Chain A
């Protein structure tokens, strides 16, 4: 009940701040770009684009949202109600994930048409979005300004999106298998390169584990940097 209502208001807030328009514009631009490309490179570019949507884009959007709420000191009022920080994290994450999944789906269908293998693809987008939104949230609560967040985020995103160089065929190493983006990319590419059972287990297992780690880290960051600093006190 409370979670559903919180998600509704989160989406309303995202609309009010123009997130949906931004996503529509970006998706339209991607679709035009993809449709203008020859089929052989369209798949590679499509994979990179569909990956960047829930990951890099989601990461920056959550950062923007959190810093906006921090700037308006919303937390002082939000967490003197029965609303739990965990519910807040879930509401933010799921509302942004929904946006990512819908846009990724539209981009994919417009560029490549209907595939039989869309389930793994969508699951990949969903899990990627959850992971990167949690990561962005955990990072944003540690930052005071948007510039600070951008600076820090280049480091974080760089490490976590590194396996992209494999997709575009620049370089590869087995170490990439430890990075969640490797699993994300395999699932997002699955309409073109179907996965075997072992690969499927690997991809889903890796993303699940990383989401678990990100969840704990974000919850910890939230408690330390938001809950304990509430009501002014010492801004440090």
Chain B
């Protein structure tokens, strides 16, 4: 679906390139996450893939077309939701969606249908000025889906959402994937990425350090330890043990034999810890 090789980009007027030779490919139907600290070049990469920035070096092929040469009809096939959901405040939700819908030539979705999908049907004739952040994010998601896009670009889709709304958004994204849509996400939020991305790319200073699935990363890089919680003198204590040769570890065996065990958990490294280990950088 998307093939990028040797992608370099320098903003007009800056000396340093912002992207320094990116290589990656994203198959159809995948949820792919760009993770990296502020200023890493995530949004820049996304703007190139969306077709806004055309003066790049290298090749960027999306749906078998080099993006440098695509015209505005490319937008008939993609859906984009930038981080901040922006609408005409004096128009209702339905008016906003109808306006954006009218800009497409191709087949489009009924806005009322989309509003129902995200649970906003009863707010169709409410002015967007009266919407909460979570409602606007969902409305923005509807807007990005108006043209039945083959690829969906989402910039920080869960930023600023409370856990309930973040969960709603994640489910909406997964439902799109189930329909065969390819989805690109950029985010700082490791937790959200871990939950929904099939693969993630770690990007720092305009370079990709690693691409892999979150699960695979955790298996490879996890610390492989187990934490035992037990009670002693009516207090809960815990002890960590290396999984390697654990059956021959006397301290571990002693503990199992002599103390009342409360819980036992293998300790996976979080995606965040792996990111720091691989890149030497914190997510800002």
Task: List the interface of chain A (C-beta within 8 A of B).
Answer: 1-2, 5-6, 9, 12-13, 16-17, 69, 72-74, 76-84, 227-228, 230-233
Contact = CB atoms under 8 A, between A and B. Distances in A.
Interface stretch (B46-54, B199-207, B276-284): B46-54
Contacts of A76: 82, 84, 86
A228 B53 contact: yes
16 contacts: A12-B91, A74-B86, A76-B84, A77-B143, A81-B103, A81-B147, A82-B72, A82-B75, A82-B105, A83-B72, A84-B72, A227-B52, A230-B82, A231-B46, A232-B83, A232-B155
B88 A72 contact: yes
B198 interface: no
Nearest to A1: B105
A211 B261 CA distance: 83
Nearest to B44: A233
A69 B96 CA distance: 13
Contacts of B82: 76-77, 80, 230-232
Contact of A231 (B52, B73, B105, B143): B52
Determine which residue in A6, A17, A78, A230 has the highest number of CB atoms from chain B within 10 A of its CB, and name it: A230
Contact of A81 (B44, B53, B75, B88): B75
Interface string B213-233: 000000000000000000000
Nearest to B105: A82
A82 B99 contact: no
B126 interface: no
A218 to B, nearest CB: 18
B84 A232 contact: yes
B87 interface: yes
Given A9-B102, A73-B84, 15 more contacts: A2-B105, A5-B102, A72-B86, A72-B88, A73-B86, A76-B86, A77-B100, A80-B78, A81-B147, A82-B104, A82-B105, A227-B52, A228-B53, A232-B43, A233-B44
Given A231-B47, A231-B155, A232-B43, A13 B90 contact: yes
A231 B82 CA distance: 6
Interface residues of B, number: 34
The 6 closest A-B pairs by CB, nearest first: A73-B86, A80-B80, A5-B102, A81-B103, A16-B90, A83-B103
A81 B89 contact: no
B171 to A, nearest CB: 23
A160 B238 CA distance: 79
Contacts of A230: 47, 52, 82
A2 B102 CA distance: 7
Nearest to A2: B103
B57 interface: no
Contact of A233 (B43, B104, B143): B43
B76 interface: yes
B105 A74 contact: no
B83 A80 contact: no
A178 to B, nearest CB: 33
A1 B104 CA distance: 10
B210 to A, nearest CB: 25
A80 B53 contact: no
Contacts of A83: 72, 103
Given A13-B88, A72-B88, A76-B86, A81 B47 contact: no
Determine which residue in A13, A81, A84 has the highest number of CB atoms from chain B within 10 A of its CB, and name it: A81
B112 to A, nearest CB: 18
